[in-house]
Amino acid sequence: MQEYEPFFMRWRRALGPWLKSTLAPESKRARRWWWNRVFVQVPQAQSAEESREALLGRLQPHVARSGEVLAEAKTAFAEPFERADGVERRATTLQGAVAIAASFVLTGGGFVLDTSEIRSDGWRIALAAVYALVILSLVFCGLRALRATSRVLVWHYVDGDTILENTGTDQAQYELALAADLLYATRRNSSNARYKVAQMRAAGHWFGLALVGLLLTALTVCAYVLWGPT
């Protein structure tokens, strides 16, 4: 059965590469260099290529220590979930910070539009430019943090059929079969965890740009107070 994918995710996956190829084609090295640094590149989650049977074959030489192999596989299986949980907690905190900073939208917008406060078109354009930088950075930060906390990724667990098929085998073979199933799921889940970490890194990148924009906004306001028209 084909996995469900929301329409927005299909639309976004098609739009991103199209914009990149249009605005920063491979032939334009300078534009591509800036694009890759402004828009942090996030690799897509990949599926494991090695099958369960191949993993089980690689574990057969360690049948004498099957209990230890199973314990190590359980530890490895839990690690991607722990990483993803930590990323989601940090992304949720970042989303709260973005929501608080969003109050800057109303305050700054009213300040820029009020001609009684800023009586020079040049200064108003300068303030609007740094103000737009902050807003765009907050929007992209929020989107990346939202993708880090999204539940659209497919997580893999131990297949119940594997447990039932190996209940009649000896203890060592059963433990190796279960360890192979755990390791197979771990490899696929690790790709999901790396994807979430990359999204969180990109969200932090945009949040840092938003802070730079806030600093530039404050400096522009101070410059207007010192040298702007009275």
Per-residue pLDDT of the chain (230 residues; tens, 9 = 90+): 445 556 656 666 677 777 778 878 888 888 777 777 677 666 665 555 678 888 888 888 888 888 899 999 999 999 999 999 999 999 998 888 887 777 776 677 677 767 777 777 788 888 888 888 888 888 889 888 988 887 777 888 887 666 666 666 678 888 888 898 899 889 888 888 988 888 898 899 899 998 898 899 889 888 888 887 76
What is the spatial distance between Cα 86 and Cα 17, in angstroms, rounded to a whole number?
A: 29
- Position 8 scores a pLDDT of 59
In angstroms, how far is CA 198 from the centroid of its own chain? 5
For residues 100 and 110, give the distance between their C-alpha atoms in angstroms, rounded to a whole number.
17
**For the chain, how far is it from start to end, CA to CA, in angstroms?**
69
Instruction: Indicate the pTM of the whole model.
Output: 0.76
> Could you read off the pLDDT of 149-196 as tens digits, one per residue?
877 778 888 876 666 666 666 788 888 888 988 998 898 888 889 888
Contacts of 127 (CB under 8 A, 6+ apart): 108, 111, 112, 118, 217, 220, 221, 224
pLDDT in tens, 70-87: 999 999 999 999 999 999
226 to 107, 217, 219, 229: CA distances (angstroms): 21, 14, 11, 9
CB 45 within 8 A of CB 152: no
pLDDT of residue 1: 44
Distance CA(188)–CA(175), nearest Å, equals 20
Instruction: Output 107-113 pairs: Cβ under 8 A, ≥24 positions apart.
Output: 108/134, 108/217
- What is the C-alpha separation between 140 and 202, in angstroms, rounded? 9
Q: How far is CA 57 from the centre of its chain?
A: 35
- Residue extents of the structural domains in the chain: 72-230
